[in-house]
């Protein structure tokens, strides 16, 4: 859903109204992008869940700290953090800019309870509470990716904040997933002129430039626009790897009536990396001893690339009625396409000779087009002398997927030395199609939820979601067909037992069709199960500081596990696994003292199969996330801070990664209210660790590195 920002500069007329010149840029971007959008619609990066309107009260650009004072999520009801019967973390713009978290992978690594699985340089998975996060949304709407993973280096420049709702989310969306939902909240046009430009220089020849201009076309502020652009290039600590990323977005808001708002927006992101890894380094020699390569080691030759393009267009209409009810409709069109020439290595090398490895080069084309329509009607009603809230809605989607691969006819063995020095020559891809997929997924869902005010300080939330999911087509010569119907209930309760604390509980079902294949090439059965959570939430210092303690239990069947490569078919296959996750989470976020902001969370869990044995051992059982900043009162304009990410040991078979921590530092100085210089140092301890053990291959996290940024704003 939408975001409403109440800013200090919206409550004053000290700044002049926007002239036509800065906003003309928005018009030009929209006019230029929209025709292209019509030809190649936009795919979405978000997925399915139940976020609703978010209302933030604070300073421009999130100056209130590393946590929002209020956030309303999870059920499309008008709920604050404390009123929501699930765990919710908010990552505001201030945190993004303080720590220079310009990619989604970097941002989610500081989110409490979230683990980022960087399986390759340009493909990542995410987990929470032991299970894969498959639901990503933009402004509360979205669809799961057909492949379940995030391709490319998704940029954060277009978003005002990111919300992470942990626990199942099937109430007001197509499907339920027990891990988390990540909701990206777009920046929106402002009534007054505001602009910003930031330039960054960093290690490994990193160069980044971004600009953001927003304002009104009319003196009344009824027509507003915003333009956001960013570009980033650089090499890497990894041998032969480099990135080239371009981002552009434009939005227009028209206040048709005092209670009617029409919004249009388009966005485009292009990633053109070179020397990308497909798969990663072997983790063991043929005698069973672990490998230990330099941090810069990569299996990718310089000719390998994986270009991705993400286009998106949306239209949104909201209207408020005199009786307090509100209707909102959103139409989104998105296309995610990729073109790649990749090089995969598998096997176990001999420690002495380096023999024992095989190669699998391949050329891929993939396009996923998604169309999503969402409508919701919400408002208050009176029953039994008390005021309650109700939301009803429906959504429908269509996702079209096409994939082609071309593999060379002859693939000779390759030595460890040739892999590490990148000397493997590019094969002659002859254009013949050796693998393909063409399938369409359609989902329709209707939901309803009510918040019953049973007594002062006591609320009960009940609801249900009925979903019909249909798929038809072919994936690697195997049928990709299913026709499923499922209704998931939801119940939650919140009791304010004093002025600052609430006790809550929630329970919901899990249902999520998936597109991953087993070794025989068949689509895995839909994920099913249940999710329960109880906890206590606190709110102090006038809402500036929020904390929570949550205990959860999740039962999930048919989880796709493994990610094993089959050289006979050239496909990655998965094994359905039943698992139960139990554990607890602690979180504290907000302004601890004047000028001191803190966001921290600790998670501990157990993951057991039906036989009581540990499963998904690549998922860390304990994680700690911390981010903080402090405005030094003795030196006006100086801010210092940092972040800490810690996880305990993980394993995949005989391969183990010991517990490790990565610490980052930042410092910024505002020379004037408009000009700021900041410096960031990452991995200050120069920790060497593997990025992930989700697969039987991995590579190393980046060593110590730094950047400086000059930021001007108006």
DSSP letters of 655-666?
EEE--EEEEEEE
- Looking up tokens 């039987």, which residue turns up? 696
CA-to-CA separations, 452 to 85, 384, 386, 449, 488, in angstroms, rounded: 13, 11, 9, 10, 19
pLDDT, residue 557, reads 87
Phi, psi for residue 332 in degrees, rounded to 5: -125, 140
What are the sequence ranges of the domains in the chain? Answer: 3-713
Backbone angles phi, psi at 212, to 5 degrees: -145, 115
Among candidate residues 221, 223, 247, the one with its CA nearest the CA of residue 233: 247
CA proximity to 217, closest of 181, 170, 251 = 251
Closest CA relative to residue 535, chosen from 566, 559, 503, 557? 503
* 108-123 residue pLDDT tens: 999 999 999 999 999 8
The secondary structure of 346-361 as a DSSP string is: EE---TTT---EEEEE
Angle (CA) 70-127-145 rounded to 5° is 90
- How many CB atoms are closer than 10 A to CB 165? 25
649 contacts 621 by C-beta, under 8 angstroms: no
Distance from C-alpha of 237 to C-alpha of 706, rounded to nearest angstrom: 12
d(CA 134, CA 126): 8
The predicted pLDDT at position 172 comes to 54
Q: Is 287 helix (H, G, I), strand (E, B) or coil?
A: coil
189 touches 215 (CB < 8 A): yes
Q: From the options 3.80.10.10, 3.40.30.10, 2.40.170.20, 1.20.120.610, give the CATH code of 3-713.
A: 2.40.170.20
pLDDT of amino acid 669: 98
- Alpha-helical runs (H) found in 253-307: none
Which string of b and e fits 556-574 if b means at least 16 CB within 10 Å? bbbbbbbbebeeebbbbbb
Distance separating alpha carbons of residues 416 and 133, to the nearest angstrom: 34
Q: How much is the pLDDT for 529?
A: 82
Cα 247 to Cα 265: distance, rounded to the nearest angstrom: 14
pLDDT of residue 477: 77
CA 263 to chain centre: 23
Please report the pLDDT score of residue 49 as a whole number.
34
Say if residue 319 is exposed, middle or buried (CB neighbours under 10 Å; 0-12, 13-18, 19+).
Answer: middle
Distance in angstroms (rounded) separating the CA atoms of residues 53 and 579:
33
Q: Are 596 and 639 in contact (CB under 8 A)?
A: no
Q: For the chain (length 714 residues), average pLDDT per consecutive 10?
A: 32 34 38 36 34 37 50 66 91 94 94 94 91 84 61 86 82 64 92 97 97 96 97 97 97 96 97 96 93 96 96 96 94 94 94 93 93 94 95 92 88 92 90 87 91 96 90 84 86 95 91 77 81 94 94 88 70 83 96 95 94 92 97 95 97 93 98 97 97 93 98 95
Q: Quick check: helix, strand or coil at residue 702?
A: coil
Q: Strand, helix or coil at 521?
A: coil
């Amino acid at each position: 859903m939408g975001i409403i920002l109440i800013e200090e500069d919206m409550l004053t007329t000290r700044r002049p109204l926007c002239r036509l010149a800065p906003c003309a840029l928005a018009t030009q971007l929209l006019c230029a992008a929209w025709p292209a959008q019509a030809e190649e619609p936009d795919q979405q990066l978000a997925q399915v869940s139940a976020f609703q309107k978010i209302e933030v009260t604070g300073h421009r650009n999130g100056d209130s700290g590393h946590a929002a004072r209020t956030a309303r999520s999870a059920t499309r009801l008008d709920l604050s953090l404390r009123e929501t019967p699930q765990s919710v973390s908010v990552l505001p713009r201030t945190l993004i800019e303080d720590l220079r978290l310009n990619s989604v992978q970097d941002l989610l690594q500081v989110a409490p309870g979230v683990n980022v699985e960087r399986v390759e340089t340009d493909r990542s998975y995410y987990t929470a509470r032991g299970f894969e996060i498959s639901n990503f949304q933009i402004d509360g709407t979205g669809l799961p990716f057909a492949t379940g993973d995030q391709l490319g280096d998704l940029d954060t420049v277009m978003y005002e904040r990111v919300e992470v709702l942990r626990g199942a989310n099937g109430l007001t969306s197509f499907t339920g997933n027990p891990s988390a939902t990540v909701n990206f909240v777009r920046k929106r046009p402002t009534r007054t002129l505001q602009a910003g430009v930031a330039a960054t220089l960093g290690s490994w020849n990193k160069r980044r430039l971004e600009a953001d201009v927003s304002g009104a076309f009319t003196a009344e502020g009824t027509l507003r626009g915003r333009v956001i652009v960013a570009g980033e290039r650089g090499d890497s600590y990894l041998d032969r790897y480099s990135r080239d990323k371009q981002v552009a977005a434009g939005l227009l808001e028209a206040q048709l009536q005092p209670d009617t708002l029409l919004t249009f927006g388009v966005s485009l992101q292009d990633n053109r990396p070179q020397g990308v890894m497909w798969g990663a380094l072997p983790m063991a020699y043929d005698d069973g001893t672990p490998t230990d390569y330099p941090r810069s080691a990569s299996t990718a030759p310089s000719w390998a690339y994986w270009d991705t393009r993400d286009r998106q267009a949306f239209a949104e209409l909201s209207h408020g009625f005199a009786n307090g009810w509100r209707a909102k409709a959103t139409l989104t069109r998105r296309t995610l396409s990729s073109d790649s020439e990749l090089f995969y290595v598998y096997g176990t090398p001999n420690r002495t000779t380096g023999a024992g490895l095989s190669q699998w080069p391949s050329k891929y084309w993939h396009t996923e087009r998604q169309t999503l329509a969402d409508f919701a009607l919400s408002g208050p009603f009176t029953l039994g002398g008390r005021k309650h809230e109700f939301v009803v809605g429906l959504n429908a989607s269509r996702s079209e997927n096409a994939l082609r691969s071309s593999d060379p006819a002859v693939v000779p063995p390759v030595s460890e030395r040739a892999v590490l020095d990148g000397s493997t020559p590019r094969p002659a891809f002859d254009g013949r199609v050796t693998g393909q997929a063409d399938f369409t997924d359609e989902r329709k869902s209707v939901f309803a939820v009510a918040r019953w005010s049973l007594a002062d300080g006591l609320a009960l939330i009940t609801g249900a979601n009925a979903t019909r999911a249909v798929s038809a087509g072919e994936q690697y010569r195997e049928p990709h067909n299913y026709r499923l119907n499922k209704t998931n209930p939801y119940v939650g309760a919140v009791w304010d037992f004093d002025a600052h604390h609430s006790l809550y509980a929630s329970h919901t079902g899990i249902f999520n069709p998936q597109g991953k294949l087993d070794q025989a090439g068949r689509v895995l059965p839909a994920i099913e199960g249940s999710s329960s959570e109880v906890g206590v939430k606190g709110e102090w210092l006038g809402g500036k500081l929020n904390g929570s303690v949550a205990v959860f239990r999740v039962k999930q069947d048919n989880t796709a596990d493994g990610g094993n490569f089959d050289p006979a078919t050239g496909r990655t296959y998965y094994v359905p696994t039943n698992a139960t996750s139990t554990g607890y989470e602690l979180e504290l976020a907000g302004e601890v003292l004047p000028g001191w902001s803190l966001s921290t969370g600790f998670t501990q869990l157990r993951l057991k199969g039906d036989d009581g044995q540990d499963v998904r051992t690549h998922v860390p059982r304990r994680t700690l996330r911390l981010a903080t900043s402090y405005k030094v009162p003795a030196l006006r304009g100086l801010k210092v801070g940092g972040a800490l990410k810690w996880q305990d040991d993980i394993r995949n078979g005989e391969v183990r990664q010991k517990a490790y921590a990565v610490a980052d530092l930042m410092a910024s100085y505002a020379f004037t209210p408009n000009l700021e210089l900041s410096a960031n140092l990452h991995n200050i301890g120069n920790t060497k660790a593997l990025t992930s053990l989700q697969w039987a291959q991995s590579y190393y996290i980046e060593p110590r590195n730094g950047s400086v940024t000059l930021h001007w704003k108006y």
